[in-house]
Amino acid sequence: MTHRYGDLTAVDDLSLEIARGEVFGILGPNGAGKSTLISIMSGMLAPTAGAVTLGGSEVTPTAHAVKRRLGVVPQDLALYEALSGRENLRFFGRVYGLSGRRLRDRAAAVLDVVGLADRAGDAAGAYSGGMKRRLNLAAGLIHEPELLMLDEPTVGVDPQSRAHIFDNVERMRRETGMTIVYTTHYMEEAERLCDRVAIVDHGRIVALDTPRGLIQSLGGGVIQLGVDAAQRERAAQALAPLRSVRGVAPGPDGQSLNVEAASAQHTLVDVMQALNAASLPLASVRILEPNLESVFLRFTGRSLRD
């Protein structure tokens, strides 16, 4: 799909397939096109070109039967502040075609899921930011969608609500097998929650794999050696010539030596042998694995938090 706002191309000829039951992460900085993608994938916005299908049925703004099979938790809160939490959920449930006993039962069930049962009678306007987010999550879940899309659900949320949202996503994956699309610019969330992650920048996918696969594609890592200050120079000289060592530099703490490794595991053996041969004592060893942040930096040349 492609989407343009006037001259600006927010989604640029992007193609994507998500499997049933998958927790799929869309990771990218602000302005990457994540929310536009979610809007198109949930049938809120018709793309300029291309199409989205859910199990073979096209998702369009007027495809109401298909849209009932998916739930969206938008980045911008959609709530009626004057209504109570429970009344908000009953409103959204009716929009999704629920009524009567079923509507009441589902509202009670999702209030329980997001931990708001005891505040269900209070006006949503009196909720904290995190509670409002949780109510929004409940609204996206009320009709038991096959596919749930969460757009940056933890931005501006207190730690307790954040943990709650995390736990809910993990539990839904485990217990219901629901397909989940999760956008974020926090790589630790993507790393922890997602089966696969697409890194999106300027409306394009720049990398797509499992978190592990993305990290391994970088290869290497950094081995941090605790070496006595008096021996640091000599240690650096002993290690620099090794073939599996890309570079040696003093650690930022001034206490260690950072060895950039072609492959952390292989390089570690070479490093230990070289230090042993030079009779250099070693106080500590730490392997710093690359993370999704380094992957993002590699593929976009920019930091995720820019």
Contact 179, 20 (CB under 8 A): yes
291 binds Mg ion (CB under 5 A): no
Taking residues 32 to 71 in sequence order and writing x for each that binds ligand ADP by CB under 6 A, - otherwise, the string is xxxxx-----------------------------------
Q: Which of the stretches 73-81, 206-214, 231-239, 290-298 binds Mg ion when contact is defined by CB under 5 A?
A: 73-81
75 binds Mg ion (CB under 5 A): yes
263 binds ligand ADP (CB under 6 A): no
For residue 247, what is the enclosing H or E element?
A: strand 245-250
Among 11, 22, 28, 35, binds Mg ion (CB under 5 A): 35
154 binds ligand ADP (CB under 6 A): no
- CA distances (Å), origin 50, targets 60, 93, 267: 11, 30, 47
Residues in CB range of 231: below 8 A, 6 or more apart: 280, 281
DSSP 127: S
Size of the site for ligand ADP (CB under 6 A): 11
Q: Provide the minimum distance between the beta carbon of 304 and ligand ADP in the complex, in angstroms, as a whole number.
A: 11
Q: Which of 82, 78, 134 is nearest to 111 (CA)?
A: 134
Q: Which of the stretches 26-34, 84-92, 163-171, 225-233 binds Mg ion when contact is defined by CB under 5 A?
A: 26-34
Q: Please, which residues bridge with residue 256 across strands?
A: 226
- Closer CB to ligand ADP, residue 46 or residue 218? 46
Contact 183, 38 (CB under 8 A): yes
DSSP 250: E
Instruction: Return the structure tokens found at 251.
Output: 């650690």
Residue 251 binds which of Mg ion, ligand ADP, none (CB < 5-8 A, kind-dependent): none
Report the residue number whose CB is nearest to Mg ion: 35
Q: Which of 18, 62, 57, 56 is nearest to 37 (CA)?
A: 18
Contact 244, 268 (CB under 8 A): no
- Closer CB to ligand ADP, residue 30 or residue 284? 30
8 binds ligand ADP (CB under 6 A): yes
Q: Which of the stretches 3-11, 61-69, 95-103, 273-281 binds ligand ADP when contact is defined by CB under 6 A?
A: 3-11
Phi, psi angles (nearest 5°) of residue 13: 50, 50
d(CA 78, CA 136): 7
85 binds ligand ADP (CB under 6 A): no
Q: Which of 192, 195, 148 is nearest to 22 (CA)?
A: 195
Among 25, 28, 74, 153, binds ligand ADP (CB under 6 A): 28
Site for Mg ion in 117-176 (CB under 5 A): none
Q: Provide the minimum distance between the beta carbon of 61 and ligand ADP in the complex, in angstroms, as a whole number.
A: 15
Binding footprint of Mg ion on the chain (CB under 5 A): 34-35, 75
Binding footprint of ligand ADP on the chain (CB under 6 A): 5, 8, 10, 28, 30-36
